[in-house]
Structure 1
Amino acid sequence: MALPRKITLWEAGPRDGLQNEPGVVPTEVKVELIDRLADCGLTHIEATSFVSPKWVPQMGDHEAVMAQMKRRPGVIYQVLTPNMKGYEGARAAGAEAIGIFAAASESFSKKNINCSIDESIERFRPVVEAAKRDGVKVRGFVSVVVGCPFEGDIAPAQTARVTRQLYDLGCDDIGLGDTIGVGTPGKVKAMIEACAKLVPVEKLGGHFHDTYGQALANTLAALECGIARHDASVAGLGGCPYAPGATGNVATEDVVYMLDGMGIETGVDLKKLVQTAWWISDRLGRPPASSVARALKSKCL
């Protein structure tokens, strides 16, 4: 399949990127990060998560983040909503796009959201129905699509089955997440090909973590399968509190640098993105995980 000429980048830094930080990131830093990312040209930003602070304390300020961020016209600000209570809170805060999470592994589903895969789909059904009624966009995610920290390798057919369940539920698109970063291009292609037999490829997105240094290669493999929606996280921020050993997402600036070099349009200003990567990294007290951010520091700062 020909490579996409233009792709949509979903910036995951403010939510997926920050959720596993050991210290609580101040609300004003989260808000400024969101605003800076929008200023870089990113049009799809995962802003926060309406989960119980008991389970993910880092996201306990979701209402304040939604109230304080500047809503730029043309930018979609998505929030995670694991259940109806989360959805109602998100709507009260003005959310116009939500995300729901399933898993390709029964063990991970039980560890992450305390229910089986099929139970999770039924739990999300009223959330999706409410969102459709309210005109809210719904993005589904499938975690551990090629490998699980508890079950090992995941068969492509199993990931495809769960992906189809989310599609049938009414999700507008579905992100395929290599949550623990064990994927390689061959495994990723096999997984995407299985999913594309059951769900239109234009509804699928890539979400790759860089635990084994394979995230950029896996992004390219997904592009070669025709995937034109990709998640990435500024400075390579990220991790999952329920996935032992998972490290950060593929860095947004690494993806943009690669795509710029391939002539694939993103609409993102790389210089501003590198500046933002160093800005948030300085506030977290460590350098960016991104190779591009480190390489371009002297040219962009």
Structure 2
Amino acid sequence: MQTPREVLVIGGSRYFGKRLIARLLAAGDRVTVLNRGSSPPPPGAVHLVADRDDESSLRGVLGSRGFDVVVDQVCYTPRQAAIARRVLAGRTRRYVMTSTVEVYEYEDSIALVREDAVDPTTVPVDFGLPWDDPAFLDSHYGEGKRQAESVFSTESAFPFTAVRVAHVLGGDDDFTGRLVHYADRISTGEPIAVPVDNRPATYIHVEEIADFLAWTVGQDFTGPVNAASRGLLGTEELCRAVAAHLPGGKAVFRPAELGEVSPFSFARSYGMDNARATRLGFTFGDVRHWLPRAVTETLGKNA
């Protein structure tokens, strides 16, 4: 029987974060969840309430606690990374940050992009940018994650890995509204705006990324790792799956300027190579196998 691990999850109150916590508890781990108190963790987890942006508050609530692994679900800026690095140095044997495919926003390759396309140790960090401005942070999501990875990677306080997550689909609690966006337009016949040259992307099911993160907690590799199901999906194929869920539904597309396009419409290639994770021992599913299920889960009560 596996020895229980002490795991700290920062954030994780919704979507695949709460699924990760459930998996860790089911495996017998002792899980501590730290958030701002917006929602309680599942039964069995210890709940700590603090604002991660307030270093003294974070230190105070953690006290003398130490952990085998920290999983940081909500690190969006280099400032947040720097605070976490200072506060948790010497408190954990491993730090896992949930990052994003958006770190590759400057890449455009027909081939699937590997982790070494963005080396976090070479990414410049600018703490002076207006990271506290929600509008700035929203429009610089990929850059914030890239710089956060850099903070953890260049002045290492603990073994660190960044899980670069593909676009997540599925579940009846998808708060993003992206599939609903398509369902609404297909139902009404409203055109769906896409780039003139619309490129495919990689995706992952909400349960699969929870599985991958839970698996990662038990591993010891470091550095960035891509997490994506096998296969690429374009907007048209994604919309066909949505239309199949809607009686008489048919998608109509309208070429548009990049700033006007719908979710999951990309003017550049957005595919991630998952070979590193596969070599490390995790087997991903095929996007086309779970796509119909993801659509049904998300749109079941919206159709």
Normalising by structure 2, report the TM-score: 0.35
Normalising by structure 1, report the TM-score: 0.35
